């Protein structure tokens, strides 16, 4: 199978994407493939979080596959939780998924820094959300696997837990399955609520981080202005001292 020529665009430094895309479209048009040229010209430049995820996926495919495997294990554990009440498996799988995402975000932090982007917490949170989302988003997962993601993904709580049906136990114990079902449904609802609350806190934290970053930029600007004032004042003081010294020497010479 021939390699998709557009794939390499997503491996480029972000500021080179548009020029390379337009050059490829022009090349295809010159070769007579007008439809392909139009498709290439319509490609969207990735945002910084999506670009960072693409670079991690291209540089560390094994680590990305480890996340996908951890996500699949977590979904299986969630299904078993509804069926049998085995919360231990969910806890273990959740920890594995979180570790996989932390490892990927650490790699993204270095890639962003090396490329001249500021890997602040708000940006890294969006990168993390994108990695988490791939565990339940088939289309997004394939785009990440290929390193061709065009926009960041949103984390979707606990996936499809809420849509799972309860499988009853043996018919000889009909009362017990009903009680277990009610308890597990209640537990699932609590998990869903906890997820929504966590997502709300994450959104608030992201907004706060953005505000703090803006305040920090404003503070740096004020500090730079203050430093400039200090430099100007020192120049004035030096000039005043020079004039005073000159006047003193004239006075010593008797005018």
Tens-digit pLDDT string for the chain (255 aa): 456 778 999 999 999 999 999 999 999 999 999 999 999 999 999 999 999 999 999 999 999 999 999 999 998 888 888 877 778 888 998 999 999 999 999 999 999 999 999 999 999 999 999 999 998 999 999 999 999 999 999 986 544 433 333 333 334 344 455 566 666 667 766 776 776 677 667 667 776 767 777 777 777 778 777 777 777 778 887 888 888 888 878 888 875
Q: What is the pLDDT of residue 157?
A: 55
Q: Quick count: other Cβ atoms within 10 Å of Cβ 132? A: 22
Rounded distance between C-alpha atoms, residue 95 and residue 115, angstroms: 30
Q: Are 90 and 157 in contact (CB under 8 A)?
A: no
pLDDT at residue 148, rounded to an integer = 95
Degrees to nearest 5, angle at CA 202 with 153 and 142: 15
The residue extents of the domains of the chain are 7-41, 46-158
pLDDT of 176 reads 53
Element (H, E) at 115: none
Name, in order, each residue with C-beta under 8 angstroms of 123's C-beta and a sequence gap of 6 or more: 48, 49, 52, 112, 117
Q: Tokens 């000039």 — which residue?
A: 239
Give the whole-angstrom CA distance, residue 48 versus residue 27.
Answer: 27
**pLDDT on residue 165:** 32
Whole-number CA gyration radius for the chain: 29
Burial (0-12, 13-18, 19+ Cβ within 10 Å), 221 = exposed
Decide: helix, strand or coil at residue 58: helix
How high is the pLDDT of residue 185?
A: 67
pLDDT at 174: 45
Measure CA 5 to chain center: 26
pTM: 0.60
Q: What is the pLDDT of residue 85?
A: 74
Classified as helix, coil or strand, 134 is coil
Give the pLDDT score at 171.
Answer: 42
């Amino acid at each position: 199978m021939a390699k998709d020529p557009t794939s390499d665009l997503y491996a480029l430094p972000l500021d080179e994407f548009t020029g390379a895309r337009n050059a490829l479209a022009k090349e295809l048009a010159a070769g007579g493939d007008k439809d392909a040229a139009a498709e290439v010209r319509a490609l969207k430049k990735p945002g910084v979080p999506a670009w960072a995820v693409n670079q991690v996926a291209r540089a560390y495919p094994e680590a990305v596959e480890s996340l996908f495997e951890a996500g699949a294990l977590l979904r299986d554990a969630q299904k078993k939780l509804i069926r049998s009440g085995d919360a231990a498996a969910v806890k273990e799988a959740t920890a594995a998924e979180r570790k996989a995402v932390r490892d990927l975000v650490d790699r993204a932090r270095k890639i962003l820094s090396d490329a001249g982007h500021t890997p602040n917490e708000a940006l890294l949170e969006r990168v993390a959300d994108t990695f988490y989302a791939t565990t339940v988003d088939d289309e997004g997962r394939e785009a990440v696997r290929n390193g061709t993601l065009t926009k960041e993904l949103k984390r979707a709580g606990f996936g499809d837990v809420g849509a799972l049906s309860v499988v009853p136990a043996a018919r000889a114990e009909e009362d017990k399955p009903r009680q277990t079902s009610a308890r597990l449904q209640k537990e699932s609802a609590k998990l869903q609520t906890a997820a929504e609350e966590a997502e709300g806190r994450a959104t608030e934290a992201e907004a706060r981080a953005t505000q703090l970053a803006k305040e920090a930029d404003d503070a740096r600007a004020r500090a730079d202005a203050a430093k400039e004032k200090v430099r100007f004042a020192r120049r004035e003081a030096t000039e005043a001292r020079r004039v005073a010294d000159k006047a003193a020497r004239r006075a010593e010479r008797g005018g």
